Amino acid sequence: MYKVQSHQIAQHINIRLARKSLTGSLLFSDSDELFYKISEKKYVYVFQFGIISYFNVSSSEILNIESQLSPFIKGNVEGDLSEDIDVSVKENIQKVSFDKVVIPTMNDEMIRLIMLHTSQSVALDRYSDITEQLLEEASVHTKSLELRGKLNISSSKLKKYIGRTLNIKNSIYENLYIFDSPEATWQDEQLAKLDIELKQTFDLKNRYRNIQDRITIIKENLELFKDIWNHRESSMLEWIIIILIVIEVIDMFINKIF
């Protein structure tokens, strides 16, 4: 029995610098990921969005690897964001259940798929927490509109809120590829089947859609807040113009009298 452990250790890992630090046989790499076989039956998968996944790696080895990567990480994350799943190898059997995966051979690509989807599940947990917080913040302001009839947020805070939401939305699109599959699955029926079953077991697509639904609701709220602020600023500008006209008229009237 082997164990896959995926941990969110930061918001970002510099993949280029991490590649220079890690040792082992590099099986796959691109600008976002590094997949290593560090020894017999031991693997490490590093993602630029701050997650590291381990296969059959001891706690002491994990601490050593994360210590090596610590100079190349950026941004703290709150809480213990992690996901574990057991993996066993049994000839002619391939099965995915809630807490266990059985594969027929010690296949690099199968192990990579398991580690990939376990890590995507961790990323979904993080983005779910973030979007939930953003939605709760938006609810505070909509409640203010309901009870007081006005928006209780300054223009600068609203702009920061919009910027934060857009950054999260961009980050989700960049880092989550729930609907895509690795190229290796395109020509291997067993890998394709494993890919589908893992996505179903982790409920990746539904969880992703829930996050997208929250983003849509938040976006609609922001559009409303922005329209209210634009109307408020427009009304203020109109009053300034009216006051200036009144002052000009009074000034002309005084000049004519005296």
Residue whose C-alpha is closest to residue 52's, from 42, 62, 61: 62
% of the chain beyond a pLDDT of 90: 46
State the pLDDT at residue 134. Answer: 86
Query: Does position 78 have pLDDT exceeding 60, yes or no?
Result: yes
Q: Angle at the Cα of 170 (from 191 to 216), degrees rounded to 5?
A: 95
Domain boundaries, the chain: 2-257
Whole-angstrom Cα distance, residue 116 to residue 47? 9
Query: Does position 27 have pLDDT exceeding 60, yes or no?
Result: yes
- Strand (E) or helix (H) holding 255: helix 204-257
Residue with tokens 């280029």: 16
DSSP string, 152-206: ---HHHHHHHHHHHHHHHHHHHHH--TT---GGGGS-HHHHHHHHHHHHHTTHHH
pLDDT-derived band at 199, boundaries 50, 70, 90: very high
State the pLDDT at residue 10. Answer: 92
Has this prediction a pTM greater than 0.85? Answer: no
Instruction: Compute the mean pLDDT over every residue in the chain, rounded to the nearest whole number.
Output: 85
* Token code pair at residue 66: 């994360």
Query: Is 144:228 a contact under the CB 8 Å cutoff?
Result: no
What would the pLDDT profile of 214-258 be if each residue is shown by its tens digit?
A: 888 888 888 877 777 665 555 565 556 666 666 666 667 777 776
What would the pLDDT profile of 153-187 be if each residue is shown by its tens digit?
A: 677 777 777 888 888 888 888 777 766 778 888 88
Query: Does position 7 have pLDDT exceeding 90, yes or no?
Result: yes
